[in-house]
Amino acid sequence: MKFINMKKVLLLIFLCGVYAMTSAQTPQRVVCDETCKTETGAAVVKGDGFAVVSPVGRGTVQMIEMAPRLTTLEGKTIALVGGSFMARTTHPELKRLFEKNYPTCRIILLDEIGSAGVYPAPGVTRRSKDEFQERLRSMRVDAVVSGNCGCGLCTPKEVGSCIAAEYIGIPAVAIAAPTFTEQVFYTSTNNGVPAPRVAEYPGAFASHTNDELIKNTREVLFPQIVKALTSPITAEELARSAKSNQGGLRDDIFYGTFQEVNDHFREMNWSDGLPIVPPTFEKVSEFLRYTDKKWDETVAVLPVAHRNTTVWHVAVNGVMAGCKPEYMPILIAMTKAMGAGSFRRTLASTHAWVPYCWLNGPVARQLGIDCEQGEINEAANASIGRFMSLALMNLAGYYIKQNRMGTFGYPMPWCLVEDEVACREIGWKPYHARLGYQMNDNTVTTCSTLLWGNNMAPSTTNPQKIMELLAWDITERCQFALGSGKQFTYRTILLTKPIAKNLATKYRTPFALEQDLIRTARRSLNERVFANYYANPGSNPEERHPIRNWKGHLTRTEGASMTPTPVWYDTPETEIMTIPTMKEDMTAFIVTGDSSRNKVQTMPGGGFETVYIELPRDWDKLMQERGYKPISEYYLK
C-alpha cells in the first residue's frame, strides 16, 4: 500500500501541472492505478491512457539583450538595405520621406553599404555578415531598415541584415508583406533577437503598380518604420519569445487518452495534424536498442531553429511516425542529412520544395522497404517519409506559415529505394556506389523536389530517342513553372528498369548519359526571356528594363548561342539561339519503381546530401530476434 500511495502522490503532482524533475537514469513514470482525471478533466480508466515524452529538441541559441530604441531620428544615420521585391521603388521613396520629415538625418542606400545576407548558424562564419557589421560601425549607422520580405527565401536574407545590426546594438526594422511578418519574427528569434520589429506592407509587392507602391510606402510603411525605430521594446514583446527548457529530456510531459494525446500534440504544434503514435517512454526505449549511440548523444544541431537533436529525440519522432524500431539507424542518418545546407536551403520557399529521400544498400532489402510499383505508399516507405515530416517540425523547427511558406502547401515527404538488383542486371552502379561508397554500404540521401507525378513513358526502345525525350522533359522541368527561375537546378531522374535497360545499350554509365543530355537539353532563348521577364520570381523587371534589354542580359549571362534546333521544336529553322539547362553534378539518376512499366520521372528541386547508415555491432542478433534473415544474405557482388 505504501508503494501505491507514493504513485498516487506523484500522479497528483503531475496533474497539478508541475513537471517532476528526475535523474537522467530514472525518468518519472505516470500511471493511473484506478481512475483519475487528465488535464482536460476527462476521466481515464487504467490502461486507457498514455504518459508521453516531448518530441522537440532543445534550442541552443541564447537571446541577446537588445539596445534601446532611438528617441528621435533627427541627426541619425539610417541604412536602407535589401533589394528584394520592388525595393528599387520603395526604398528611394523612403529616403525621400526620411529627408523630408527629418532634415538632419543621413540616409545610406544598399549600393553604398551592402547587406548581411542570411544570418549564419552558430559556429558558422559568413564573410558577408562580418563585413556588413564592420561597415555599419565605420559609417556610424544608428538604425537599419531592410526589405522587402515577400517570399520564403528572401525573408531570411533581408532579415539577416536586421539581426546582424541588432547584435551590435543598432535598432532595426524589416519590411514584409502580411503573410511574411510571422517569418520575420520566427527567423529573428531563432537567431537570438527576442523582440524583432516589422513594418507590414499591405499586399503583394510585385502585383502592385509603381503608383500603388509609392502610395503605400508613404501612407502605410513610413509611419510604421518610424514607430518601430523609436518606440521602446515592451515586456509583452519580450514575453512572446520567452522559451523554457524545463525538466529532463526523458520526462513525461503529458498524460491522456489516445485522442487527448493527439489533440495536445496538435495544439503544441508537435504534429502534422494526422494521428500520431503516442511516444511513451517504453516505445522510445525500444528504438534505442537499434543503435550503439547513447540516448543523449547529439546527432545534429539542426537549423533553422538550431535545436540540439539527440538520439532520444530521433527515436521519439520515429515512434510518432509509426516507424518500426529497427528503422532507427536509417532515421539517425536521415537526421544528420537534414542538417546539410544543400538539402534545407530551399525549404522555406513559397514555391514549396517537398523533401524526400531514397535508400541504397542491403539494409533496405533486409527490412523490406519497397523499390517497386507504388513504393512510396508501402507502409515502411510511408512511415519513413512521415518521420521526415515530423522531424522538419520538431527537430529542425520548420512550421507552416512561420518559415515553410509554400503558397499552396506541401504534399507529405516520401521515401524511395533504388532497385540495385536491376542496376546490377543492366550494368550500372547504383547511386551510392557512383559517389564512392562500397556496393554493400548503406546510405540515405535527402533532397527535395518542386513537383511529383506526371511521368513520361517512352514508347521507343531506341536509346538515342529516349535520351532526346528525356532532354526535352528536362528543358520543360526547370526551376519554377515555365523555367522562370535560375538557369540551372538540381534534378533527380527516376528510371524504371525497362527504360534504364534500353538506355544502357548505348550508355555504359549514367555519367555518359548525363554528358549527352548536357549537350542536348537546350532551350530556346526566346522562351527563356519571356518566362524570366514576365514570370520573374522576384521583382518585376518591366519597370526598369525593356524586354529587348533583358534578352541581351540573358544572352550574356546564360551562355546563349546558335545551335542546331532541338528535334522537339516545330520550326523550319535549322539553327536557333538556345541556352543550356543542365550542367555536371546536378543530376541524380535512380533506377526504381515498377519493373513492368516504361516510365521516367524528372524532378527538379534542391541539392542532395548522402549519409552513411551506421548499423549497431549486434545488428544480426537484433534482427534475428525480429524474424529477419542476416544482412549478408542481401549483399550484392
Quickly state the pLDDT bin for 3 (edges 50, 70, 90).
very low
Say yes or no to pLDDT of 460 above 90: yes
Q: Where are the beta strands (DSSP E) in 273-398?
A: 298-302, 307-310, 354-360
pLDDT of residue 474: 97
Summarize the confidence of residues 52-69 as an average pLDDT. 93
Contact by Cβ (8 Å): 228, 198: yes
pLDDT of residue 543: 65
Q: Where are the beta strands (DSSP E) in 210-367?
A: 252-257, 298-302, 307-310, 354-360
Quickly state the pLDDT bin for 47 (edges 50, 70, 90).
low
pLDDT in tens, 400-450: 988 888 899 999 999 999 999 999 999 999 999 999 999 999 999 999 999
Q: What is the mean pLDDT of the chain?
A: 90
Residue found under cell 541577446: 64
Among 615, 264, 626, 204, smallest CA distance to 441 is for: 615
pLDDT of residue 126: 85
Higher pLDDT, 47 or 516: 516
pLDDT in tens, 606-627: 999 999 999 999 999 999 999 9
Say yes or no to pLDDT of 544 above 80: no
Quickly state the pLDDT bin for 44 (edges 50, 70, 90).
very low
pLDDT of residue 32: 37
Which spans in 39-126 are helix H?
Answer: 87-101, 110-113
pLDDT of residue 20: 33
pLDDT of residue 545: 81
DSSP state of 470: H
Summarize the confidence of residues 544-569 as an average pLDDT. 92
Among 104, 90, 114, 109, smallest CA distance to 222 is for: 90
Separation of alpha carbons 434 and 427, rounded Å: 12
In this structure, the strands spanning 609-612 and 575-580 are unpaired
Say yes or no to pLDDT of 636 above 80: yes
Quickly state the pLDDT bin for 344 (edges 50, 70, 90).
confident
Cell of 69: 530604441
Summarize the confidence of residues 98-118 as an average pLDDT. 92
HEC states along 378-419? CHHHHHHHHHHHHHHHHCCCCCECCCECCCCCCCCCEEEECC
Helices 311-321 and 281-288, axial angle in degrees (round to 10) = 110
Contact by Cβ (8 Å): 448, 356: yes
Say yes or no to pLDDT of 594 above 60: yes
DSSP state of 217: I
Say yes or no to pLDDT of 16 above 70: no
Q: What is the CB neighbour count within 10 angstroms for residue 4?
A: 10
User: How far from chain centre, in Å, is Cα 224?
Assistant: 31
b/e 625-637 (16+ beta carbons within 10 angstroms → b): eeebeebeebeee
pLDDT of residue 114: 87
- What count of Cα atoms within 13 Å lies in the side-chain half-sphere of residue 411? 17
Question: What is the percentage of the chain residues whose pLDDT exceeds 90?
Answer: 75
Quickly state the pLDDT bin for 2 (edges 50, 70, 90).
very low
Q: Which of 146-160, 231-245, 427-441 is least confident?
A: 231-245
pLDDT of residue 245: 60
3-state SS of the chain: helix, strand, coil percent to 5? Answer: 40, 15, 45
Domains identified in the chain and CATH numbers: 77-232 (3.40.50.2300), 450-606 (no CATH)
pLDDT in tens, 380-405: 999 999 999 999 999 999 999 888 88
Say yes or no to pLDDT of 309 above 90: yes
Cell of 373: 510499383
pLDDT of residue 29: 41
Summarize the confidence of residues 201-216 as an average pLDDT. 92
Cell of 532: 524570366
Summarize the confidence of residues 539-564 as an average pLDDT. 88
In this structure, the strands spanning 49-53 and 58-59 are unpaired
Quickly state the pLDDT bin for 206 (edges 50, 70, 90).
confident
Quickly state the pLDDT bin for 188 (edges 50, 70, 90).
very high
Secondary structure of residue 481 in the 3-state scheme: helix
Say yes or no to pLDDT of 99 above 60: yes
Question: What is the percentage of the chain residues whose pLDDT exceeds 70?
Answer: 92
On whether the pTM is more than 0.95, the answer is no
Separation of alpha carbons 611 and 609, rounded Å: 7
Higher pLDDT, 346 or 95: 95
Separation of alpha carbons 205 and 179, rounded Å: 12
